[in-house]
Chain A
Amino acid sequence: MILSWRRASTLSIVLLLGGLASTAQAENEFSREQLEVMAGGCASCHGTDGRLAGAVPAIAGRPASLLESRMLAFKADEVEDTTVMNRIAKGFSDEELAALARHFAENPGPQGDVP
């Protein structure tokens, strides 16, 4: 199935509602140090802590469920016009993607606004 960006976002909002409940439970699966290293590659395109907005969007401070569902959709080749995120997301397990999503959701967004 190929989803357009818009469909994928709508889907994300639906998932957001269901996703909140599960956010807390897997919190300590990876140590903070481990998450910093796992997230190291993300910063090379999204800026330190995922906070740089530009041609490549900032990922910090977005809802975890939205980030997670978006990365899973990339991994499944379900996002139309993807260039590189499908190739990257396939390098991580679903659990790792979920942990990364929570990690970036906790970082303040580009303007320093706490989500």
Chain B
Amino acid sequence: MSQHDDRTRHTRRPGLTRRQLLQGMGAASTLPLLGGIAPFAIANGSAGRVVVIGGGFGGATAAKYLKRANPAIEVTLVEPAEVFYTCPFSNLFLGGLRDMRSIAHGYDELRDRYGVRVVHSLAEDVDPDGHRVHLANGETLAYDRLVLSPGIDFRWNGLEGYDEAAAELAPHAWKAGAQSELLRRQLEAMDDGGTFVMVAPENPYRCPPGPYERASLVAHYFSQHKPNSKVLILDAKDSFSKQGLFTAGWERLYGDRIEWVGLSDDGRVTRVDAENLEVETEFGTRHRADVLNVIPPQKAGFIAERAGVTDDSGWVPVKPATFESERVRDVYVVGDATVAAPMPKSGFCANNQAKVVAAAIAAELSGRSAPEPYWTNTCYSLIGPEYGISVAGVYRVQEGVIAEVEGAGGLSPADAPDHIRALEAEYAVGWYNAICQDTWGTSV
């Protein structure tokens, strides 16, 4: 649908006053001058320039919702890839339940319908004083506000022996795309009777329940095609997200096919020998894998460091109400790169944080104060194609920090009957379609 159609529909919306309409359309010139200073935008008809780095869950959502809030804001989205493969549902691809095309999204709608300028290049550096971003293609972009949603980078060699070359032998598949395809090929090539070994990281990392959903769906694939094969999870933690629900689901669907070894039972891997598909744990136990999946330690995407917004942890502290960097003015950060606990590093949260940031920036550029933030999260995990579980949370700023609203959220019930697990599996698919429509819009 073209932008024109969309606007026509909006003007027909009942109950919308002319004033609301003008606000929605970002008629900057109708706004009063604040403190004698005209919003800089008026002169050239623009309501300000915003550069968004990263076209994943956080960045694509921020770009779209900035334009929705005020089409007069000039929004440039910088993302090297023309096709984005989502990590969500990449575990279904690994389990043989989806193809890669079904988790691929593009930027046409952001460009054609919402008027976002999309530049397919890598942001190499940020000059926060000069308010400029330098791209690998040689272009320099000036901004009034900068949004970073670069996701994660790996701490290569943070786990001894695991570097970029090792990832070609023992894939992480923790960014979806070529790595997911490599891991899937290895699973397909593995002889029946083999062992899939997964190395799971300590907190914090992208998608707390992700490793356990992956173990589940690899076990599903084995149960269909390689009945004598096993899954072994070596974990640097003693507990994990939705543990009770996962453990019960594993037993119910896969018997003893999946074995989990936690920190206290010498589950923490300290060295990887990718060439021999072997790992060594803290107390010297060696495990040989037939397929080895290493989920390495992580940090915010490198551009966050270049912008000067990270702290010693490697992640980005932000002001709770707006997600503006605590360290650098006019730079906002969303998604996995941030320290946003109790919100998890999920695509759902990145999408919700981006909407709050878009509203805050749009308000600020027009001289109004930002609306109160509201965030929600639901992380679905599929233990089998018809067996879904979830954890949810609603978040607000309380006493200056991000807090989970008491009495809300929580886990799927431990004693839910099969038809509820099946419903949650269905809703997981509904969620996936909706969040991808809301973020990239390529499915509608």
Interface residues of A (CB under 8 A from B): 31-34, 36-38, 40-48, 52, 54-56, 81, 83-84, 87-92, 106-108, 112, 114
Contact = CB atoms under 8 A, between A and B. Distances in A.
Interface string B420-444: 1001101101110111011001001
- Of B376, B427, B435, most A-chain CB atoms within 10 Å: B376
Nearest to A41: B376
B376 A44 contact: yes
B378 A45 contact: yes
Interface string B342-382: 00000010011001100100110000100111111110000
B392 to A, nearest CB: 4
A100 B9 CA distance: 20
A106 B15 contact: yes
Contacts of A43: 355, 434, 438
A108 B359 contact: no
B198 to A, nearest CB: 27
Nearest to B14: A114
Nearest to B416: A83
Nearest to A23: B15
A45 B13 contact: no
A40 B373 CA distance: 10
* Interface SS, B side: helix
Contacts of A52: 433-434, 437-438, 444
A55 B426 contact: yes
Interface residues of B, number: 55
B438 A47 contact: yes
A83 B419 CA distance: 11
A41 B408 CA distance: 14
Contacts of A90: 394, 405, 407-409
Given A81-B420, A81-B423, 20 more contacts: A33-B362, A36-B355, A37-B372, A41-B374, A41-B394, A42-B376, A45-B435, A48-B441, A56-B430, A83-B423, A84-B424, A88-B394, A89-B408, A90-B409, A91-B405, A91-B409, A106-B13, A106-B15, A108-B9, A112-B9
B367 to A, nearest CB: 13
Contacts of A37: 355-356, 359, 371-374
A92 B394 contact: yes
Top 5 A-B residue pairs of the complex, sorted by shortest distance between their CB atoms? A91-B394, A41-B376, A55-B430, A91-B408, A56-B430
Contacts of B372: 34, 37
B4 interface: no
A62 to B, nearest CB: 14
Given A83-B390, A84-B392, A40 B437 contact: no
B2 interface: no
A23 to B, nearest CB: 10
A47 B371 contact: no
A106 to B, nearest CB: 6
Contacts of B375: 40-41
A61 to B, nearest CB: 10
B252 interface: no
A38 B121 CA distance: 33
Contacts of A45: 378, 427, 430-431, 434-435
A1 B356 CA distance: 36
A72 to B, nearest CB: 14
B24 interface: yes
B18 interface: no
A107 B13 contact: yes
Given A84-B390, A90-B408, A44 B434 contact: yes
Nearest to B21: A32
Nearest to B24: A32
B356 A88 contact: no
A88 B376 contact: yes
Interface in B373-417: 373-378, 390, 392-394, 405, 407-410, 412
A47 B378 contact: no
Contacts of B434: 43-47, 52, 54, 56
B186 interface: no
19 contacts: A33-B359, A33-B362, A33-B371, A34-B371, A36-B359, A37-B355, A37-B356, A40-B355, A40-B374, A44-B376, A45-B431, A55-B426, A55-B433, A56-B430, A56-B431, A87-B408, A88-B376, A88-B378, A114-B12
Contacts of B12: 108, 114
A107 B6 CA distance: 12
Contacts of B407: 90-91
